[in-house]
Amino acid sequence: MASSFLLPLLGGALIGLAVSLLLLTHGRVAGVSGVVGALLAPVRGDIAWRVFFFGGLLAGGLALAWLHPASLPPAVLPSGGGTVLLGVAGLLVGFGTRLGNGCTSGHGVCGLARGSVRSLAATLTFMATGVATVFLVRHVL
């Protein structure tokens, strides 16, 4: 039983280290949607660290593909219209995270660790609509 949550806990600890490292070196909040999203309208002098963080994510992905390929499976979607649904999901995730200034990392990790009320409200909200969506897709439709 213990092993079922040890790996998630280790993964979480690594994420906690990663966001702490970015705060230590750059004084920045490691919210992925914000770090990478701001590259769509790059501001001079504020590009390099974002590109390097993005590059680090990709390098990490490569390391995972090599060491632990089972961790990178394709998305499993309800049959029929899967591709359209995936596109709609991507649009919602991109639009929503920019409108709400953060995603699972910016609000769910950095914000909660900071004790931010806004991040708590955002995290509870995206958890709730995520749960509701899965409920609809899996148990109603």
CA atoms of 103 and 81, how far apart (whole Å): 26
79 binds other proteins (CB under 8 A): no
Residues 106-125 as x/- pattern, contact with other proteins by CB under 8 A: xxxxxxxxx-xxxx-xxx-x
- Tell me which of 1, 79, 80, 101 binds other proteins, using CB under 8 A: 101
CA atoms of 63 and 69, how far apart (whole Å): 9
- Tell me which of 1, 48, 79, 141 binds other proteins, using CB under 8 A: 48
In DSSP notation, 97-115 reads HHHTT--TTIIIIIIHHHT
- Rounded least distance, CB 136 to other proteins, Å: 8
- Tell me which of 42, 79, 91, 141 binds other proteins, using CB under 8 A: 91
Contact 23, 35 (CB under 8 A): no
Interface size with other proteins, residues (CB under 8 A): 116
CA atoms of 50 and 58, how far apart (whole Å): 13
47 binds other proteins (CB under 8 A): no
The H or E element that residue 138 is part of is none
44 binds other proteins (CB under 8 A): no
90 binds other proteins (CB under 8 A): yes
- Rounded least distance, CB 2 to other proteins, Å: 11
- Single out the residue of 28, 36, 49 nearest to residue 97, CA to CA: 36
In one-letter notation, the amino acid at residue 121 is A
45 binds other proteins (CB under 8 A): yes
